[in-house]
Amino acid sequence: MAKLTGSQIVAQTLKNYGVEYVAGIPGHGIWTLTDAFLEKDSEIRFIQVFHEQSAVHLADGYYRVAGKPMAAVTSIGAGASNTVIGMATAFTDSTSVMLITGGPPTHMRGHGLLQELERYTDNDFPKIAEAVSKRHWVVQRVEELPFVMHRAFSAMVTGRPGPVHIEIPMDTQAEAAEVTLHDLEERVPVGKVFPIRPP
């Protein structure tokens, strides 16, 4: 086991799973995450775009051409909401895209911090993502991240491919815990499912 921050868990897991590029806009909700992509143990190429929607379209297009998933990252609230069109495209066309968004610190949910969407209920963006993703998670503890990252990657690439969303609060990105990263090959089903032809 190694002591890693939430951001290091994300970056190292993506690298271990073969993700070569991450696209997004560095912002207040994901500073520690973008820093982790530059560290020695991850070193994933970060492509800065001018609009969050572009990050998801870039990841979608990359999967269509290369056949490999790419991640997109955005900040909290309004920035995250700009990804909906790209996520809907990926969802409709069954392309594998991982969207990781920042979230308000767990102790500040519902305070409207840093453009949090909270007028109807606290932190409403995950509800928006629900409609355009194969599966989504809101991670509250660092210890959950290795499992969630594995589960999200598995959901994204197995069965009918599709986009997945993970929201990681700012404090969860920065906090550290003793964790073991999951090996992808040991836990992802292999092969393809085909219908049985009648005799």
| Beta bridge partners of residue 165, listed in sequence order | 99, 136
Q: pLDDT tens for residues 30-58?
A: 888 999 999 988 889 999 999 999 999 99
In the chain, the amino acid numbered 149 is: M
Q: pLDDT tens for residues 6-36?
A: 999 999 999 999 999 999 998 877 888 999 9
- What's the confidence (pLDDT) of residue 190? 61
d(CA 147, CA 6): 12
- What's the confidence (pLDDT) of residue 152? 94
In this structure, whether the domain defined by 2-182 belongs to CATH 3.40.50.970 is answered with yes
d(CA 62, CA 76): 24
pLDDT beneath 50, residues of the chain: 119
- What's the confidence (pLDDT) of residue 148? 95
CA 154, 77, 7 angle in degrees (round to 5)? 50
